[in-house]
Amino acid sequence: MSDSSASQAPIRIDGLSLSRSGRTVLSNLSLSVEAGQAYALLGGNGAGKSTTIAALLGLLPAEGGVMEVAGIDPVEAPEAARRVIGYLPENVALYEQLDAYENIAYFLALGGARPSRAAIDEALDAAGLEADARRLRTADYSKGMRQKVAIAMALLRDVPVLLLDEPTSGLDPRATADFNALVRQLKARGTAILMVTHDLLGAADCADLIGFLAKGRIVEEVATGPNLDVMALHHRYGEAAAA
Ligand SMILES: Nc1ncnc2c1ncn2[C@@H]1O[C@H](COP(=O)(O)OP(=O)(O)OP(=O)(O)O)[C@@H](O)[C@H]1O
Ligand SMILES: [Mg+2]
């Protein structure tokens, strides 16, 4: 399917199949995320969530199907794709000897950007990193604090596509609520967000679509909204995770 005019969705996966170490990890996976939408991908450990993100980053060869990130095929043009993607990895790696400002300045400089101190502070405010912590070596940061630094970097890059792998996994309930509010703000800016999460309530709070992944395929996709039965979904999610 090379007809990209069929959908303008900034994130589009259609019929993706992929193996790792000879095992099928994704099979005929399809999903798309429109501008200004967030899609929450849920599923048990090993279901293929991080693999889906790695595929969109152009890090893994697809065996079938098509992908598009802001109109770019990440298999054909991985570097171009990565320029339009803000990516929050499952485990954020920072330079331990550097503080938050230095880490952000360093990583953004790799992409040719030189944000002002005020812009970095604004992003760290939005990500919710305490002002007192910003000058400490990140070696002394908790997991949640590292997440916040990485979220701030993604915000500063101001890209149309965000791929977030368990963005709230290290965050306390307050920080999680703040993060969900941030997702809503980003959607209002027109960003397309694909977020992997184990937090069903958070997904119901800030995502437009929730997809359950099991054994490399979407087994259920639901639209969120005031009529969403989160408890029923919680029971089905447990089933999907155990499948
Ligand atoms: N580097 C790798 N080499 C080979 N197989 C891998 C590799 N990384 C992941 N896999 C396999 O791919 C499958 C999907 O893994 P993936 O990391 O995408 O799961 P996940 O849904 O992100 O799980 P989790 O919730 O634990 O993060 C698993 O069966 C895993 O064993
Ligand atoms: Mg994962």
Both 121 and 232 in one domain: the answer is no
Name the residue range of residue 127's domain: 92-158
Q: Ligand 2 centroid to 233 CA: how many Å?
A: 21
Both 112 and 154 in one domain: the answer is yes
Which of 141, 158, 175 corresponds to the end of one domain? 158
Both 132 and 192 in one domain: the answer is no
Q: Is the pLDDT of residue 107 over 60?
A: yes
Ligand 1 pocket test, pick from 16, 17, 23, 51 with the greatest ligand atom count within 8 Å of Cβ, gives 51
Residue with CA at minimum distance from ligand 1 atom 30: 46
Q: Is the pLDDT of residue 4 over 80?
A: no
Closest atom of ligand 1 relative to the 213 alpha carbon:
21
211-240 mean pLDDT: 88
**pLDDT per position as a tens digit, 77-95:** 999 999 999 999 988 999 9
Both 96 and 117 in one domain: the answer is yes
Confidence band (pLDDT; 50, 70, 90) for 1?
A: very low
Instruction: Note the pLDDT of residue 5.
Output: 46
Q: Which residues surround ligand 2, an ion (CB under 5 A)?
A: 49-50
Task: State the ligand closest to the CA atom of 51.
Answer: 1
- Look at the block and give the residue holding tokens 């802001």: 70
Between residues 34 and 4, the one the model is more confident about: 34
Residue with CA at minimum distance from ligand 1 atom 27: 45
Q: Is the pLDDT of residue 139 over 50?
A: yes
Which of 112, 135, 158 corresponds to the end of one domain? 158
Which of 158, 174, 199 corresponds to the end of one domain? 158
Task: State the ligand closest to the CA atom of 46.
Answer: 1
The residue type of 196 is: V
Both 79 and 169 in one domain: the answer is yes
- Residue 178 sits in a domain of what CATH number? 3.40.50.300
Q: Ligand 2 centroid to 92 CA: how many Å?
A: 13
Number of domains in the chain: 2
Both 31 and 67 in one domain: the answer is yes
Both 51 and 117 in one domain: the answer is no
Both 108 and 205 in one domain: the answer is no
Both 195 and 145 in one domain: the answer is no
**pLDDT per position as a tens digit, 113-132:** 999 999 999 999 999 999 99
Confidence band (pLDDT; 50, 70, 90) for 158?
A: confident
Q: Is the pLDDT of residue 241 over 70?
A: no
Q: Count of alpha carbons within 13 Å of 118, Cβ hemisphere only?
A: 0
**pLDDT per position as a tens digit, 218-232:** 999 999 998 999 999
> Where does ligand 1 bind, in terms of residues with CB under 6 Å?
20-21, 25, 43, 45-51, 90
Both 77 and 136 in one domain: the answer is no
Cβ pair 207, 178 in contact under 8 A: no
Give the separation between CA 177 and CA 119, rounded to whole angstroms: 23
Least confident of 2-16, 50-64, 143-157, 163-177: 2-16
